Structure 1
């Protein structure tokens, strides 16, 4: 697996034997936004994580290798890098929404997600209501459904460009609490220093599901992704990836 910054490929594209068009020969090019553990992040010079492992299976199905391209999260809403031919798909812990469906096509859902409130221990905040009554400062990652939910609840959250910036905002006192995807919080709290400094507050059930996005009309690639997701759930591969990168399976998980 290779990593790269956002730039157009110089390689000539191809169509696989199964009729799937690719922007670069021998490569399934994935747009993502780093870091977003446990879904995609760098470890020992490589990009790894839940999404990466899942898309590796798609690449194997197509007989090619995955290449990661780090891009701004905002572009996933518009499908900009898909439309420009820089990437074949986008995998970034991205929630399927009606607004995003206007610009991209999504795979079948591959992950059921919830939001969570994480606050500094000294703030003693455990809920969004507590943030409001305590006149605390709330943060969220820009362009995410966590930010949207906070705004829907009447907040004007401090917007951070990446999940790393969100965490740093908590550490440095820029904000007292943040709303972000629960699996990300799980990943942070594995660090003993974070577990001591921060407290997990309420879980926010938003009914969100993640999907892999492709360019509008790219039905061949979308079908290949759907096939891998469904087969992975059936053959136990999905569960193994989940346990490796996220943790114990939810009790209602297959």
Structure 2
């Protein structure tokens, strides 16, 4: 697997052939907080849920004979809803952490994503030291590793947490905060969407492996890992990364 620099890198998987599992055409519901392009969002024209995570899950399902139905779910309640059986897995750019692994099972990582700080263009070149020294405010989506990173930079008292990424972006544009800690993939998307207004001034804060999330003990984890291995081996995962980020 080719490794990519900057804000996004493909996770490295073990080599070797795999015989993909067969889930018999089973329909699986997939919970996703669809406010984080390009990972997942709702296409305003079609109303369909689209994005990198959607394509990854669909590609895996093509290998292991299942169907995916994505369900928009707010981030705050997404893991509780999974545990209660509202859907079968979560695909929402979820960082794999030791704390989360105590309560849920993860697939193997399919990308490694690093956090960035998105700022207004007028603050391009700002440093973390400036944020700390001047007591500038950072924002992030609540209950995420991004929020934890923000607190580590400027202290909890200088972090404003929002329910969605888009709300944090609006706060930044309105000058309610001075930066948004966000994963590098999303930062690049917002930088393109608001070219000339917003920039990823600080990159590569911390790197998180990203995985699909399942209830503890779910037998589908093994099947999805086989499917994930298959789309790595045949180049599909590389093609999806190139589709969304232009990396080769």
TM-score under structure 1 length normalisation? 0.82
Aligned partner of 2:221 in structure 1 is 222
Is the 1:115–1:206 contact (alpha carbons within 8 Å) kept by the matching residues of 2?
yes
* 1:20-35 pair list within 5 angstroms: 26-35=26-35
Output one character per residue of 1:68-112: Cα deviation in whole Å (capped at 9) or x when no partner.
111121334xx3222211111001001000111111000001111
Distance 1:185 1:63 in 2: 34
Q: 1:167 aligns with which of 163, 166, 169?
A: 169
Aligned partner of 2:179 in structure 1 is 177
Cα deviation for residue 63 of structure 1 reads 3.0
Cα deviation for residue 217 of structure 1 reads 0.3
Distance 2:31 2:80 in 1: 10
Output one character per residue of 1:119-143: Cα deviation in whole Å (capped at 9) or x when no partner.
1123456222211223322111111
Aligned partner of 1:111 in structure 2 is 111
* Superposed CA RMSD: 2.0
Is the 1:95–1:145 contact (alpha carbons within 8 Å) kept by the matching residues of 2?
yes
Cα deviation for residue 230 of structure 1 reads 1.1
* 1:56-205 pair list within 5 angstroms: 56-76=58-78, 79-124=79-124, 126-156=126-156, 157-191=159-193, 194-205=194-205
Which region of structure 1 is more displaced relative to structure 2, 109-118 or 127-136? 127-136
What secondary structure sits across from 1:196 in the alignment? coil
Output one character per residue of 1:160-187: Cα deviation in whole Å (capped at 9) or x when no partner.
1111112111111211111110110111
Is the 2:188–2:200 contact (alpha carbons within 8 Å) kept by the matching residues of 1?
no
1:47 aligns with 2:49: yes
TM-score under structure 2 length normalisation? 0.84
Cα deviation for residue 154 of structure 1 reads 4.2
Is the 1:51–1:91 contact (alpha carbons within 8 Å) kept by the matching residues of 2?
yes
Count residues in correspondence.
Answer: 224
Consecutive unaligned residues in structure 2, runs of 5 or more: 1-20
Is the 2:106–2:211 contact (alpha carbons within 8 Å) kept by the matching residues of 1?
yes
Distance 1:135 1:149 in 2: 16
Cα deviation for residue 62 of structure 1 reads 4.1
Distance 1:20 1:101 in 2: 24
Which region of structure 1 is more displaced relative to structure 2, 129-138 or 113-122? 129-138
Aligned partner of 1:244 in structure 2 is 243
Cα deviation for residue 212 of structure 1 reads 0.4
Distance 1:45 1:135 in 2: 41
Distance 2:83 2:121 in 1: 44
